[in-house]
Amino acid sequence: MSGSPRPVLVMKFGGTSVATVERIKNVAQHVKREYDAGYDVAVVVSAMSGKTNELVAWCKEASELYDQREYDTVVASGEQVTSGLLAIALQAIGLPARSWQGWQIPLHTDSAHGSARIADIDGKNVLASFAKDRTIAVCAGFQGVNPETGRIATLGRGGSDTSAVALAAALKAERCDIYTDVDGVYTTDPRIVPKAQKLDKVAFEEMLEMASLGAKVLQVRSVELAMVHNVRTFVRSSFDNPASPTPGTLICAEEEIMEQPVITGIAYSKDEAQITLREVADKPGVAASVFAPLAEASIVVDMIVQNISADGKQTDITFTVPSADYARALALIEGRKAAIGYKLLQSAKDVAKISAIGVGMRSHAGVAAKAFQALADRGINILAITTSEIKFSVLIDAAYTELAVRTLHSLYGLDAQ
């Protein structure tokens, strides 16, 4: 029940799309086009590009060990500014518009300040404003309110994508359009591979993998929500002429895609760090002694490689953790040196994870093996490998990131002709 006879549309604009007042005025024209076409419109905005980084840096400058709740108070301010500015820009071109902060909607979160999850969104106030006088709701992305504390909470970096998809689900929107600085989802980051191709459609599962393996075009949680609530989500460009927009990329169910290549996209992430423990006793319980303390500290271990020892006595264990958790992970492992019983700890932050993703991998054998050979032919050493049903990842020296991405992109026939 939308509370209104008109279809609802959610439009989200990222940081570069609202980077200046001039661009905000351009965004207002995109909104006007859809409003005039007959939609009730909820807009979700990010902070001006670079603003959130600046606010985060200020928190760190104030204190390295800042309080997460106050961090949320500070970083949520970027979206407050752009929501107000867009409402003003819309009013200036004769459209009724009002800004909404997360607590006003309300968008409720859990208590994980700094990277909160959305618990629920009550869409009735926004829908009532649509029903009353078709006022455009300009919502501050990235922020909500933790009902336990009544305080502002933010959704983790890139969280405005998630605000938008969640709002689209709550308002039963016809679609959710995510406007950004590229005109869709590409076979890989078009900024590092000029031959990357725009995809018309990407399956939810593939987009989920691409986002979690480094393609920051959508926040992972936004894709999860789009999949669970079946929200028709498009990624498209805000730099298009508002009068002649292009459709962008649809994120949709696998069944909607007619021809599926084996590999759909290549992603990379430099946010990984590698830790190797040399000469660990090869006996039951050793892996638990390494990984249980990391799990208790909520450190997510991604790749794990354990060698089979030649003599049955000692082995080496290599694993990766997010760069942000690297220092904590090292301290934990070093603090347990005696209990774990390793000889030497080696670690590196200058590593990168390169991943190839495609639902077509389910029905094809030997897809990853081809990549290992192609990387070897370029002299790129593989430090660790993981595979799952629709993707595989290799860990390499970060200096070879671009070469590796381009190599795999060509290998799987993804280069534009």
# binding residues, ligand ASP (CB under 6 A): 13
114 binds ligand ASP (CB under 6 A): no
Is residue 43 within 8 A of residue 139, CB to CB? The reply is yes
- What does 143 bind: Mg ion, ligand ASP, ligand ADP, none (CB cut-off 5 to 8 Å by kind)? none
Which residue from 47, 118, 351, 405 is in contact with ligand ASP, where contact means CB under 6 A? 47
- What does 358 bind: ligand ASP, Mg ion, ligand ADP, none (CB cut-off 5 to 8 Å by kind)? none
Q: Which is nearer to ligand ADP, 208 or 217 (CB)?
A: 217
44 binds ligand ASP (CB under 6 A): no
102/153 Cα distance (integer angstroms)? 9
132/282 Cα distance (integer angstroms)? 70
Which residue from 189, 205, 316, 325 is in contact with ligand ADP, where contact means CB under 6 A? 189
Q: Which is nearer to ligand ADP, 16 or 135 (CB)?
A: 16
Beta pairing class for 314-322 and 265-281: antiparallel
Beta strand segments in 48-174, E: 97-100, 107-109, 118-121, 136-140, 143-146, 151-154
Which residue from 78, 123, 141, 158 is in contact with ligand ADP, where contact means CB under 6 A? 158
Three-state secondary-structure class, residue 134: coil
Which residue from 142, 326, 342, 392 is in contact with ligand ASP, where contact means CB under 6 A? 142
Q: According to CB under 6 A, which residues from 236 to 265 bind ligand ASP?
A: none
99 binds ligand ASP (CB under 6 A): no
14 binds ligand ADP (CB under 6 A): yes
What region, left, alpha or beta, does residue 248 occupy, with left being phi > 0 and alpha being psi -120 to 50 degrees?
A: left
Which residue from 17, 46, 109, 129 is in contact with ligand ASP, where contact means CB under 6 A? 46
341/290 Cα distance (integer angstroms)? 10
160 binds ligand ASP (CB under 6 A): yes
Q: Can you give the length of the chain in residues? A: 417
292/141 Cα distance (integer angstroms)? 36
Binding residues (CB under 5 A) for Mg ion: these are 14, 158
